[in-house]
Chain A
Amino acid sequence: MTRQTNTAIRQQCDRIDQLCRQALELSGSAGPLGIMEVCGTHTMCIARSGLSGLLSDNLKLISGPGCPVCVTDQSYIDRALHLAMECEPRPIIATYGDMVRVPGSGGSLAEARASGARVEVVYSADQAVEIALANGDTEVVFLAVGFETTAPGAALAVLRAHNENVPNFSIMTAQKLILPAMEALLSQEDVRIDGFLCPGHVSVIIGWKAYASVAAKYARPCVVAGFDAPQVLASVEAILAQLASGRTESASVYPSVSAEGNARALELLDEVFVASEASWRGLGAIPESGMELREAFGRFDAAVRFGLPDFPSREIPGCRCGDVICGRLHPTGCGLFGSRCTPRRAVGPCMVSSEGACAAAYKYGPHDRGPRQ
C-alpha cells in the first residue's frame, strides 16, 4: 500500500487555484475569495474529507447557517423546555435527536428528561403522529425544526392528524426557509461571500432555479452540490468558473436536483404553511423566513393549544455560535472552543449538533481550522 494521491483531484485543485486567480484579477480585489455552504451535511463532508487543506490559499470555505439545530433561536428551546416541564399534565415531546442536547436558558431537553419530562426521539414527523395514536390520553407535541427538507414531513404529519382527526397531536414550528437567510447574510458588511455552495436536500424540494433571484440580485453564483467531496469540489469549481468569466447564475452539479424542484412537496408546504417572520440565532428576526401553520390547521399549533408564553431571545454568555453561523467567526476563534465547549459538554448548539460547524472543527480539526496560513 502506498499513499494514494488522487491525480484527478489534484488536477481539479490546480484548476480551482487558477480560477481563483482569474476571478480575483477580474474583480480587482485582494483574496481570499469566500464561498459559503449553507448545509450542515456539506459542513461535515468538507471537514471529514479534509478538503480545505487541498484548496487554494486564495479561497476560503465558510460554514453558514446550514444546521437546523444551530439556527434555531434560544427562545424556541426555552419554549420547548417550558412545554416539557411546566405544562400539566406533561405532554410527550417528540423531537429529532439533535435537539435533545441543545442547551436552553434552563438546561436541555435531555436534562429535562432526566428530571421526569417525557421526551421521545423520532426519525420522522410521522413517527410523532404514531406516538400520539398509541397514547390517546396524552398530548404529543412534535418539534418541527429544519429547512425545506424536513418541512414536507411536518406538513404530511399535520395533514394526517387533520384527516384522521388525531386530537392529541400538535407541532411547535420553527421551520425555516433558506433563501431569506442567504439574503440576510449578503447584507452583512463584515463577511465576504463571493458565492454560495447550495444545499442538495433543500434543493431537491425547491429546485436549483430557486436561487436565480439571489444570484441575479446580489451578483453571486449559486451552485447546488450533492454530499460527497467530489460533488463539493465540482460545485466550487463551477462557482469559480462563473466568477472568473464574470457570470453570476444559479446552477446545479447534483443530478438529483431538478430546475423546478418537487412540485408535490411545494404544494404540500403551501397547503399547510404560510411564510412568516422567524427568529434565527445570529441573524435575528427575518421577515418571511419561517413557516407558520395556516389558519385551517391552527388547532395543531402547540403554541395556541398550550397558550405558550413568548420567551426573550437570549444568547448564551460567552458563546459565539451566532457569529459562527453567520460566517463572521471560524469555530476555533471562539474563546470557549475546545476548552469550556466540547462535544461532551457543549455550551452552544454548533458544538451540540452532529452537523454543527464547531463539532466538525473539533472532531476533524486542525486541518480544517480555516484557510492555511
Chain B
Amino acid sequence: MTKAKRKRLIYNLITFALVIAAFIILQSMIANKMISRSLKGQLVPICAWIVMAVSLNLVIGFSGELSLGHAGFMSVGAYTGAIISGWLLQVYEVQDTTLRLVLAMVAGGLIAGIAGVLIGIPVLRLRGDYLAIVTLAFGEIIRSLVNVLYVGVADGKLHFSFLNKNMPAGVSMLVDGAKGAVKIKPVATFTAGFVLILITLVVVLNLVNSRAGRAIQATRDNRIAAESMGVPVTKYKMMAFVTAAVLAGMAGALYGLNSSTVIPTQFTFNQSINVLVFVVLGGLGNVLGSVVSATLLTVLPEVLRAFADYRMLVYAIVLILVMVFTNNPTIRAFADRLFAPVKAIFRRSKKKTAGGDAQ
C-alpha cells in the first residue's frame, strides 16, 4: 500500500512539475520576446482546453460515464463570465482587471455548477448510452437558450429578456441573442490560465486519490458490487459530475474573457466531441495524458497551417496514427523497454487506463 502511495505521489509530482516547468519556460520566452505571436495568442485557449479535458476526464475516466455535453458547461461559464465582467465594469466601474477576471471565473464556475446539479439529478439515474444521449441534448438546450438570451445594462441595472429584445432605451448590450456576448473587454491572462490549471490538478488529483475518489472509481468498475457494498452510487457520480461542471465553467469564463466576442455556435456538439478526443487520446483516467493531448491537439492545427486547405485532413491522419500506434502492443512493448525506468512509475496509472478502455 505504501509503495502504491509513493508511486502515486511521484506521478502527481511529475504532473505538477511538467506544468510548472512549461509555464516558467513560456513566461521567460515571453519576457525575452522569443515567442511567435501565433503561439502567444494560443496560450490562454490552451489553458482553457486543458482544464476542459482534465475535468471531462474526471467524468469519463474516473466515474465512467460518457458525457457529450461538456461544451454546454463551458458556454454557461463563458456567458456568465462575460456578463459578470461587463456588469462589474459598467455598473461598479471596477477597473482592476484581475479582480474582474477572478470574480467572473468564480461566478462562471458557480453557475455552471448549479447547471451541473440540475442536469445531474435526472441524468445520473440513467446509464451508459442513455446518459450520453441526454448530456448531448443538454448541450444543445444550453446553446438554444443562449441563442435567445438578451442581457443589457441600463441605469445601473442588469436587464434580462428572453426570445424578444425588450430593452429600455440607452441600453448597453452585454449578450445580444444570436450575436452572442458582445463587446467583451478581454481580461484573461496566461498566468490566470496557469493558476486555473493548478487548481484543477489539485482538485482532480486529490479527489481521485481520496476516499470519495475510490468510491467514484468503484462505481465505474462495478456498479452493482459498489452498490452492494453500500456505496451511494448516484451521490458519488454526482460529485464527479458537478466538480467537472464547475471546472468547465471556470475554463469557459477564462476562454470567453480572452476574446472580444463569444457566440453560441462556438459551443456545439462538435466542441464537446473535440474535448472527448483530447481525453481519449490522452488516456481515460490519465490526468497528465489529458494535459499533454489537449496542448498538442490545440497547437497541431496551427502548426499544420503550411498544408493550407489540407491541414484538417493531415490533422485527422495524425489523430488516427497516434490512436493506432499508442494501442499497438508491439510498439507499446518497445516503448516500455525504452522507457523502462520511467515506465515503472506510470505502471499504476496504465492499469487504470486499460480498465477504462475496456468499457
Q: Do A and B bind each other?
A: no
